[in-house]
Chains A and B, each alone.
Chain A
């Protein structure tokens, strides 16, 4: 009997809330299935009938363009009906609680909720309260987790590097506030990447991160040496206002990815970014648009990975 709230008693994936605690087999099943969905998107009819008649609700309590759009496209390519709810501007402002909102949508025969919320644990809370036939996908909760972003990054790494054996991966930037970084670290270590590094200023690297089995660098040049994959994190502008960082220019000087710094990495290193990018703050434009950048393929792969997640969940 499994105690992981994401899994059915038989150990199959029922909700996708966090990468933490998922076995490598499930991550690999998602990545393998996504590979088949890539070929679907290259056909004349870019759709398969798997989720015909199912209703998927995108519940975005926090603004997002890319993630919401790619979930919407993914659901439509699986033939599901999709309802987008931008809740910041709807009933929550009238005082309805999160669980009441979900209960009302469940009464409209929802089959799946895709949830983005500023509060860590929101997707878990919803998953605990939905009926047994409803599936929940966490599309980002507070600082906690963003599992589909981590999975699409794993897909991208496997696509360009052929696998995870022997890789050195560096995650650069604001790890402290990043749900992407947390999910990414869990995914990389679960899939057997031998060396995961995090690079950033002391104020933006949580002290407990070393316990996750990663190497911490505060000097970007040292941290980038010989890495195969560079994952840049978005620097959230609001962090500038506080005492965490002196200025955007200072940050770029120390932790912005320039062509010069990228030259320290392995010559075949790929550069990833979950978007949206701050050009000239965490990444130089010429690197973002350069030959080693795989930032746009990440977006394309994100659709196939989300198709895989939704079709595996809805069948379990």
Chain B
């Protein structure tokens, strides 16, 4: 199947957020892909608030099944979470479980006034009542496949690729 161009989706996402931008908005990317998207958006939108990141490994609901994932990165929220307006950023929105974990983690830092959700790609098939406010594109993906975001280390340019679940990097 054909996946859309990630750079175009990023433009579209930035455009959608810009429509209701306020200068106290804080972006929080979810490791790893969501952080790449959030970093680019942060620059495109010219935000002055610190860019946040969360690694949801300690909040996942599949720990009992899969154990702790290797390569956990520290979560980093360098702003006052109490009363903040947050936009949570992920690369590919799927079951919604990662978003639940990320929200639980954010609430351990404080009580934000609002959290909105931005995703570069929404592949549907939600298992939880979670709905994004900003989406680059909706795509339909065959079962057993994953949409993966890649970031060029030098240019930070984003691209999407389809991989079979077994071959997940």
B57 to chain A: closest residue by CB: A36
Contact with A along B66-83 (1 / 0, CB 8 A): 111011111110000100
A244 to chain B, nearest CB (A): 44
Structural contact, A33 and B68, CB atoms closer than 8 A: yes
Q: Assess A32 versus B76: contact at CB under 8 Å? Given A44-B108, A50-B58.
A: no
Instruction: Assess A312 versus B55: contact at CB under 8 Å? Given A36-B73, A43-B108, A44-B110.
Output: no
Judge whether A285 is part of the interface by a CB distance below 8 angstroms.
no
Interface contact A49-B66, CB-CB below 8 Å = no
Contact with A39, one of B66, B67, B75, B110 (Cβ below 8 angstroms)? B75
Q: Are B108 and A47 in contact, with the CB atoms below 8 A?
A: yes
How many A-B residue pairs lie within 8 Å, measured between CB atoms?
51
Indicate if the CB atoms of A44 and B55 lie closer than 8 Å: no
Q: Is A240 part of the contact surface with B, judged by Cβ < 8 Å? A: no
Query: Does residue B49 face the partner (Cβ distance < 8 Å to A)?
Result: no
Closest residue of B by beta carbon distance from A79: B58
For window 98-149 of B, CB contacts with A under 8 Å fall at: 104, 107-110
A35 on the B face (CB < 8 A): yes
Q: Quick one: which of B67, B70, B104 contacts A49, CB cutoff 8 A?
A: B104
Query: Given A44-B110, A316-B67, are A36 and B75 also a contact pair (CB < 8 Å)?
Result: yes
- B74 close to A35 (CB less than 8 A): yes
- Residues of B53-67 at the interface with A, using a CB-CB cut-off of 8 Å, are 55, 57-59, 63-64, 66-67
Q: Is the CB of B66 within 8 A of A36?
A: no
Please give the distance in Å from B97's CB to the nearest CB on chain A. Answer: 14
In this complex, how many residues of chain B approach chain A with their Cβ under 8 Å: the count is 22
Q: Which of A12-62 contact B (CB under 8 A)?
A: 12, 29, 32-33, 35-36, 38-40, 43-45, 47-50
Q: Contact check, B71 vs A48: say whether CB atoms are below 8 A apart.
A: no
Which chain A residues lie closer than 8 Å to B81 at the CB level?
44
Q: Are B110 and A312 in contact (CB under 8 A)?
A: no
Q: What is the CA–CA distance of A33 and B73 in the complex, to the nearest angstrom? A: 7
A243 to chain B, nearest CB (A): 49
**Which residues of the partner chain A approach B55 to less than 8 Å between Cβ atoms?**
36
- Tell me if A29 and B75 are in contact (CB < 8 A): no
| Contact (Cβ within 8 A) B70 A29 | yes
Contact B59 A49 (CB under 8 A): yes
Complex interface bits, A279-316 against B, C-beta within 8 A gives 1, otherwise 0: 00000000000000000000000000000000110011
CB <8 Å contact, A315 and B68: yes
Q: A182 CB to closest chain B CB, in angstroms?
A: 27
Residues of chain B lying within 8 A (CB to CB) of residue A316: 67
Residues of B within 8 A of A44 (CB): 81, 108-110
Which of A32, A35, A48 interacts with B58 by CB under 8 Å? A48
Determine if B76 and A39 form an interchain contact, defined as CB atoms under 8 angstroms apart.
yes
Those 8 A-B pairs whose CB atoms lie nearest each other, nearest first: A315-B67, A45-B108, A48-B58, A39-B74, A315-B68, A36-B72, A36-B74, A316-B67
Q: Could you show 16 A-B contacts with beta carbons less than 8 Å apart?
A: A32-B70, A32-B72, A36-B75, A39-B74, A39-B76, A40-B75, A44-B108, A45-B107, A45-B108, A45-B109, A47-B108, A48-B58, A50-B58, A50-B63, A312-B67, A315-B68
